[in-house]
Amino acid sequence: MINEMVMKNVWKIELRSANKLSYDKIKEYFESHEIPLTPVRGKFDTYWITPKLQVEFGVDCFFIGSHGDFKAFNGAGWLFESYIAKDFPFSNLRQVKTDITKDEYYEEGVENKIAYARDVRNK
């Protein structure tokens, strides 16, 4: 669940890995792919990827958020297609928060729209 990030539009990427994951391992994964991580001041496990896009790490997932829906959608989609779908074959991507719903958070995703890594790899 989103603990630290305060963004209007948030996408969740569940890694569904057989390997034991942790906050640190996911952060190391990002760093190994040279994805820039600038800590958000006063927040725990939340980083800026770009000046308008944040990432918050969970134990087996992470959240990509932005104030603009287009930025959040493109950023999460790019990370998912470029890296995650290749390295985590059982992962999925779903939108869990949108500015239309104000401060509501949906663990199962907004309108059940979900993308699976196997579908991305099979394109």
Q: pTM to 2 decimals? A: 0.86
On whether residue 74 sits in a domain, the answer given is yes
Q: What pLDDT is stored for residue 79 in this prediction?
A: 92
**Terminal Cα-to-Cα distance of the chain (whole angstroms):** 30
Domain membership of residue 65 (yes or no) is: yes
Q: Could you tell me if residue 119 is inside a domain? A: no
Neighbours of 14 (CB within 10 A): 18
Residue 63 is predicted with a pLDDT of: 92
**Cα–Cα dist 27/104, whole Å:** 27
pLDDT tens string 86-96? 999 899 999 88
> Is residue 122 in some structural domain?
no
Residue 118 lies in a domain: no
- Is 117 among the domain residues? no
At residue 30, the pLDDT reads 92
Q: How many domains does the chain have?
A: 1
Residue 38 domain boundaries: 9-110
Counting as low any pLDDT under 50, the low residues of the chain are none
- pLDDT value of position 55: 94
